[in-house]
Amino acid sequence: MKLTTFAWNVYDGQQALESLDESQKETRIPKLPSLLEFFGYVFYFPAFLIGPSLTFTEYMALIDETLYKDAAPASPNSSKRVPIGRKRVAYQKLVFGISCIAFYALYGSTFNYTVTSADWWMTKPFWYRFLYAQIMGVVQRVRYYGAWSLTEGGCIFTGLGFNGFDKDGNALWDKAANINVMNIEFAPNVKVLLDNWNINTNTWLRNSVYKRLAPPGKKPGALVTMYTFMTSAIWHGIYPGYYLTFFLGGLISSAARQVRTYIRPFFLPALLPPKSKVLPPPTLVKRVYDILGTVACLGIINYMVAPFMLLELRPCIIAWNTLYWYGHVVVLGWLLWGQLGGFRWLGKLVKARAEKAASKEAMQVHMEMEDREHKLASGMMTPSSSGGTLVVPPFDVAMKGMEEAGDALKLGLARGGGHSKKA
């Protein structure tokens, strides 16, 4: 991972800046480093075996302390700029990691996907096997939480992982994180789960595979997503279970993207832009949608990872067979229905909903303008009810007011002239 990342960063360093995106501009290497710097990066000890992966620019920012350029010295008598709190966070990661490993040592053999080949497994009803599979998925993930938390703590202890300050001025040490447990176990959709699982490997896949396969100026399609997942499978190893998992993962990712495109808009304001990153407070219906999304997401993922844990082809097929292939049925059924016209039909419904909301809003604005014009018609200029600024009434009303003011002025001058003659 480090070598391919380094190679692409060197390649980006030879390209014109306008052809790069923001992340590529930050990580580009315009000049080759020395051998000492290169080997120091490659053999950076805390991340040597299982990550987290990092770029060469991040490593050099740690070495020359430009990583802490926005931080004040730790003490008046010290030139070190490493913010305080580093050791405390590292020890917290240590405790959490050891706790996860201990939990897995206690329950990992009981809640293991190998039980799907046991004789007693098929004597249980499907609902029991389904729920048991969900518990197995959680227990098997815990060992990864433990390992990655320990390596993250090691990186933080050396000073890597600093990510600025929060609103209260406390140092944040989460940039070396490889997982976000809460966002995994309670993810409302597959995208959120994948974005928070093996974060640095996902970053590597996105920057070194996904972006590189996309045609210039075009958005990557489903085929690019599938190539990226298969690259991840090859990177993991040669066991059939890896390929079964990541091939299905590519299909799940594509299916989840269609759900976000065609189902999610019905639970959001109709006129909200599709790519909006700022969402209004969730309604009750949206909260129910998110809860159902969490249940569906974990149900599919815990099914998908069975081959990843079993590795050999025969146990993988047996495991999915005992679960009646429910993950494949849901994912392939949704994609097939969509290709047969379902997505087109849902797209029309989403568009019609937005047009209806826009028409209703336009009618409301028109009625408000008519009401305001009616209120303004009684005077030449009146303060607006919103901010107190002067507003101009309709032209015919203004002309009538000016004529009345002119007549009053003439009458006043005539009376004043009469008084002066008498004097």
Tell me the catalytic residues: 236
Q: Are 313 and 123 in contact (CB under 8 A)?
A: no
- Coil vs helix vs strand at 182: helix
- Which band of pLDDT confidence, cut at 50, 70 and 90, is reported for residue 375? low
Cα gap 167→376, rounded to integer Å: 47
Pull the structure tokens for residue 388: 């107190």
Residue 273: CB atoms within 10 A of its CB come to 8
Give the residue-averaged pLDDT of 257-277.
81
Instruction: Please tell me the predicted confidence (pLDDT) of residue 421.
Output: 46
Task: Give the DSSP H/E element, type plus range, for residue 382.
Answer: strand 382-383
Nearest Cα residue to 264 out of 196, 193, 191: 191
- pLDDT on residue 392: 46
Q: What is the pLDDT of residue 98?
A: 96
Residue 240: asked if its preceding bond is cis (omega within 30°), the reply is: no
Q: Above pLDDT 70, what percent of the chain?
A: 81
What φ, ψ does residue 6 adopt, rounded to 5°? -60, -45
pLDDT at 395: 46
The per-residue pLDDT for range 377-389, each reduced to its tens digit, is 655 445 444 444 4
Tell me, what's the pLDDT at 410?
53
Q: 393 preceded by cis ω (within 30°)?
A: no
Q: What is the pLDDT of residue 315?
A: 95
Torsion of CA 176, 179, 181, 183, to 10 degrees: 100
SS3 371: helix
Evaluate if residue 390 carries a pLDDT over 60. no
Strand 382-383 versus strand 390-391 pairing type = antiparallel
